[in-house]
Amino acid sequence: MCGIHAVISSAPIPALPVELKSLLSHRGPDHFGQVRRALPFAKDDSEISLEFTSTVLALRGDHLARQPLESAVSASVLCWNGEAWRVNGQSIRSQNDGELLLGILDAIDVPTASSRESHILNVLRSVDGPFAFLFYDAQIRRLYFGRDRLGRRSLLVHAAEHGSSISFSSVADVPAASWKEVEASGIYSLDLSTRLATPQGLILDTRVTKHAWIRSGGEDMVSSIGHFNTALPRPGQEPDLNSASEMLRHWLCESLKLRVLDISEPPNPLSGLDVRVAVLFSGGLDCTVLARLAHEFVPCSQEIDLINVAFENPRQVAINKTLAHREAGDIYEACPDRATGRKAFAELKSVCPDRRWRFIAVNVPFEEAMSHKPRIVSLMHPHNTEMDLSIAFALYFSARGIGHCYVDKPDWEPTPPVVATPSRVLLSGLGADELFGGYARHEAAFKAGGYARVIDELKLDISRIGQRNLGRDDRVMAHWGKEVRFPYLDEELVRFAISSPVWEKCDFQNPSHPAVIDPAKRILRVLADKLGIPGVAREKKRAIQFGSRTAKMESHTGRLRGTALIS
């Protein structure tokens, strides 16, 4: 994980603002680096100035790879924010991916600009994993930038009004309407060898070229990853949930191996404590399955933290008059996600007795939440709705990871110790609902138009997940020097999920299955049963903002709509 930033300007570039430097350093606390270039024009004395900035959170390899990365061969520059889990289909889990990629990008000296560009694009297209990047190729004086196919890492762009400069950043220091998220639908490039003639004079040519991830795919292609299976069940055809759940287990395990093994030990570890993986833990189906399977790969010498967040919501306290007259601890224990979290924690302890789990109960008073609100609003920009804010509140404080620690007993205690998770890797269950039909609207779609309507909803959900969720989530959680990883959104697992028959993912045609109550995400519920967590298999879906009670914290009536803009 890194913070990356670049400015391309036809005028001298001022020093990086103090606030922006601080925000980037929060994302990458292990190293801060800058590289500058000046590109003169042949026909006059003017030049273009380039400034690249990177901060580094070191999680891979046996050394700190200082960024921006510079090529000794071509003088090219790479700012890399993310994880390349596979390149050309080969796993590179234990290597430093940024250094490896720069070496591959600069591996050949090609005779023409077009062949050089073809080589660069082919390398970037071969990468599986979450990433955002800036790559200045000095050989052809072109800047390439973008986000991965699903948009799991943040990258914003801002073009100056009169074309004098263009800026890129993982996060915006001063939220303004001109900062926009780079779309995850392709790789983009900018020719730095030309300028435009205008009435005001020659200016930087900021016209961007888009290079598609794939040349063609058809209407059933999803996020340039694979084709969606649009087949419908024949009359009387039953899902093979046993085989489907075993295939899901295989791909989920393969995904988790990449994400939980070979993680560098956090700097300045506490004596006798080794925690390298933490789970954003509501106690629901998606995250608990991740925790249960992570147990099979994380060495038993390491603890796994389960971070569970609950908020003091004045509106909810007012509704439940009994809480208003009881101790403050009861406010948090009454949150739905706290109850399910404790039950799931107990179930994990029972099925995995050799693992030392730590349940971290993060309690957020209303006043503390409001004191952090300006920072959260700034981090999630350009997202700016009340629903964005309610989700961001929960993710922000979860990623901070400070709360009351429970190890031996799952039940509430009056004076548990307060701890801060040392883990710099967070596992999130995001993506399971979009892939396997977990939202209430998926069941509503089935009732309205059968599986054909469900297919339409699922295709839409997975194709827009980067636009709706992932950039925002990355900015909010990375602020604490943590990297959030999404095992359900591994490319290979996504290919499996979208190519599977819809009725083997969500079994709405058979709502009263004898073994598993809820038809939503039934494939995952069957897997949870097999993993020995039957209580979790039967938990209903609950959105994070309702489970943690961040929804409408500032609305006394509860009538504020989630789509309303933040006031």
pLDDT tens figures, 10-43: 888 999 999 999 999 999 999 999 999 998 865 6
- pLDDT above 70: percentage of residues in the chain: 92
What pLDDT, on a 0 to 100 scale, did the predictor assign at position 324? 45
Whether the predicted pLDDT of 201 surpasses 60: no
What are the distances in angstroms from CA 97 to CA 78, 83, 344?
A: 12, 7, 35
The reported pTM is 0.94
What pLDDT, on a 0 to 100 scale, did the predictor assign at position 546? 79
Phi–psi pair at 156, nearest 5 degrees: -110, 155
Between 165 and 393, residue with greater pLDDT: 393
Q: Which domains does the chain have, with CATH numbers?
A: 2-213 (3.60.20.10), 222-547 (3.40.50.620)
pLDDT digits (tens, 9 = 90+) for 176-190: 668 899 999 999 999
Q: What is the mean pLDDT of residues 243-253?
A: 98
What pLDDT, on a 0 to 100 scale, did the predictor assign at position 203? 65
- Secondary structure (3-state) at 171: coil
Closest CA to 337 of 363, 355, 303: 363
Whether the predicted pLDDT of 325 surpasses 80: no
Q: What is the mean pLDDT of residues 340-353?
A: 97
Closest CA to 406 of 333, 471, 474: 333
Q: What is the mean pLDDT of residues 153-182?
A: 86
Element (H, E) at 364: strand 357-364
Whether the predicted pLDDT of 525 surpasses 60: yes
Type of residue at 492:
E
| Cross-strand partners of 39 | 48
Question: DSSP states of 101-127 as a string?
Answer: HHHHHTS---SSHHHHHHHHHHHHHTE
Whether the predicted pLDDT of 329 surpasses 60: no
Q: What is the mean pLDDT of residues 48-63?
A: 92
Q: How confident is the model at residue 541 (pLDDT cuts 50, 70, 90)?
A: confident
